[in-house]
Structure 1
């Protein structure tokens, strides 16, 4: 059951359920039996008063729905009055994710200053490859790099194959592929660009120690490139460029991939394929006004 959802999703569901049980104590309820709709409406009202975003509320309710189903009781999050309350909540909590996209231009500029942000030439090639893959592959950072240096997660070395004008990456599992069917991601050559994914991966493979398997993006000693390190060097590069690092996040590469694809006039079906979006949700990633 734990493996049916991602680690982050499971953790989010667990936190929501604990909050719910604590809230229900005020109503002398166990949070499972009895008339729960009025209690849930008060729970929603309490979240509104605390300034919880609409997306944050939806995540909480998703966690409650999961646990109601898991325990075999009625899922009151789907009741009509609850759904209406959530609709009103959304309209009253109009907010927009303000994370800026990493544009192609910013990616090029980042690549040019990485030599000043990294400790040596090896690290420079490592981060150029990481940033190029993140942008052109529209990777979530959790799919690309390891959670920590010692866990060996992220894209695996056996999953990356370099061709003459293409890099093939096998994404064995992702947020939208919990069954683990996997998906092939093909990244093609960008002629004349220093941030071309084929060029960056080839340059990294020239120095990557062959004796280390596991994670593809590793330091010289074989330790995996971690999420923390990815973000730290990214922010360092933004600072070098005079860009406000607080306006960006690791997800800015994926946001940038969607935004640039639309700016370049690619068809919606192609944009969805690039980012592996199964619906029109990709539109929330398109932020042309923030380029």
Structure 2
């Protein structure tokens, strides 16, 4: 259910949902002073408005490709690679795991507690730690601090 304060995205299946019971991912409205442009509630409301303007109904798939077909992983990755290449970058190093790596690395960088990173990523083990990429500059600063100790 979507309202101005939040919504829950119901995933029918997920690779972390081993019993295929479905996964509920809650999203809450962000405070305006934090980042109004990235508020998931505002973005979803805008997206749904755009879809309704195009004639889509409430029983249509939520995420679709340019041909109106349900969005799938392969198509999503293909489009991401095309966008990366259009920016003049090599897309070989990007895949579905790139989003998990980016989200996990960002969460760790802003000091989100490990147990919360694990919960948000729907990990059942500590394997999420392998997704965290440490910036070489951070390592250099740590080494310098150790030398001054």
Q: TM-score, normalised by structure 2?
A: 0.72
2:59 to 213, 220, 226: 213
Distance across 1 between alignment mates of 2:65 and 2:20: 27
Distance across 2 between alignment mates of 1:235 and 1:195: 22
Q: Looking at both structures, which has the greater relative contact order when contacts are Cα pairs under 8 Å and sequence separation is at least 6?
A: 1
Contact 1:212–1:222 (CA under 8 A) maintained in structure 2: no
For the pair 1:176 / 2:19, whether they are aligned, the reply is: no
Distance across 1 between alignment mates of 2:66 and 2:93: 31
Distance across 2 between alignment mates of 1:207 and 1:253: 25
Quote how far apart the aligned CAs of 1:267 are: 0.7
Rg (Cα) greater in structure = 1
Distance across 1 between alignment mates of 2:91 and 2:5: 33
2:98 to 252, 262, 280: 252
1:287 to 127, 130, 133: 133
For the pair 1:264 / 2:114, whether they are aligned, the reply is: no
Pick closer, same or farther for the CA change 1:220–1:229 going to 2, 3 Å: closer
Distance across 1 between alignment mates of 2:36 and 2:91: 24
Who is 2:70 aligned against? Answer: 224
Who is 2:25 aligned against? Answer: 185
Contact 2:108–2:132 (CA under 8 A) maintained in structure 1: yes
Residues 12-42 of structure 1 deviation map (CA, whole Å, 9 limit, x = unaligned): xxxxxxxxxxxxxxxxxxxxxxxxxxxxxxx
Quote how far apart the aligned CAs of 1:223 are: 1.7
Q: TM-score, normalised by structure 1?
A: 0.40
Distance across 1 between alignment mates of 2:125 and 2:96: 22
Who is 1:33 aligned against? Answer: none
After superposition, where does 1:79-158 map in structure 2 within 5 Å?
none
Distance across 2 between alignment mates of 1:188 and 1:196: 8
Pick closer, same or farther for the CA change 1:284–1:162 going to 2, 3 Å: same
Unpaired stretches in structure 1, ≥5 consecutive residues: 1-160
Distance across 2 between alignment mates of 1:207 and 1:281: 38
Quote how far apart the aligned CAs of 1:248 are: 1.1
Aligned residues: 131
Distance across 2 between alignment mates of 1:227 and 1:183: 17
Unpaired stretches in structure 2, ≥5 consecutive residues: 137-149
